[in-house]
Amino acid sequence: MKNVVLALGTNLGDKRANLLTARELLQNQIGEELRVSKIYNTPSWGFDSYDFLNQVVVYKTALSPTSLLNEVEKIEKALGRRNKTVKKEDNIPIYVDRVIDIDILLYENEVINTSQLTVPHPKIVEREFVLRPLVDIFKDEVIAPFTKSFNSFLTQISCITI
């Protein structure tokens, strides 16, 4: 059994219900829910739209990384997720509104780099809406493969220069 850390986000419909439904489906499909962050209301990132509700959840799973990704994508689709980020011809991501977005942030302490999946999530330490809930769960723990805590990363990106 492996511990996996997932980020959940939603900015359409009944956002709290979307998060709760996603967590229930995840528990049914991938494994036991172990830890849950607070829910954060955050502005959309990468595009202008409705605010998101974001949350991070830790699960224990017997699924392989590829099987986990497949289950996550099935759950997103079942909840009404239309498209993942689409890339223009100039390779710049286009972000869109979504009923649910589920990202695999961490899979145990493994580093995974395939055409389908990159873990740790490549933007994990750049996004405040991911770091704040991670700090709820891990406080000042250093989680491999990182060499400092998520709180340290959060402090770095939250600094305001005067």
pLDDT in tens, 44-97: 877 788 899 999 999 999 999 999 999 999 999 999 877 666 666 666 667 777
Selected catalytic residue, list 23, 101, 127, 132: 101
Indicate the number of domains in the chain: 1
pLDDT of residue 96: 74
Residue 149 lies in a domain: no
**Active-site annotation holds for 81:** yes
Q: Is residue 39 part of a domain?
A: yes
For the cut 50, the answer to whether the pLDDT of residue 130 exceeds it is yes
pLDDT of 1 > 70? The answer is yes
Distance CA 45, CA 129 (A): 9
Question: What pLDDT sits at residue 10?
Answer: 95
Q: Is 98 inside a domain boundary?
A: yes
Active-site choice (98, 132, 136, 140): 98
d(CA 154, CA 131): 6
Is the Cβ–Cβ distance between 143 and 109 less than 8 Å?
yes
* 24: CATH: 3.30.70.560
pLDDT given at position 162: 42
- Residue 56 inside a domain? The answer is yes
pLDDT of residue 93: 66
- pLDDT-based confidence at 158, cuts 50/70/90? low
Q: Which residue has the tokens 């709760």?
A: 20
Check the CA dihedral 160-145-104-95 and report its sign: positive
Q: Is 98 a catalytic residue?
A: yes
**Which residue among the candidates 23, 48, 90, 103 is catalytic per the annotation?**
103
Mean pLDDT lowest among 68-77, 107-116, 149-158: 149-158
DSSP state of 70: H
Residue 108, by phi and psi: left (phi above 0), alpha (psi -120 to 50) or beta? left
- Residues 131 and 42: beta-carbon distance below 8 Å: no
* pTM value surpassing 0.75: yes
* Domain of 87, in residue numbers: 2-122
Residue labelled with tokens 């990159």:
118
Tokens of 50: 């409705």
Within a domain: 158: no
Contact 124, 6 (CB under 8 A): no
**pLDDT confidence of residue 161:** 44
pLDDT at residue 92 in the model: 66
For the ranges 83-87, 112-116, 145-149, the lowest mean pLDDT is seen at 83-87
76 part of a folded domain: yes
Confirm whether 152 is domain-assigned: no
Quick check: is 42 in a domain?
yes
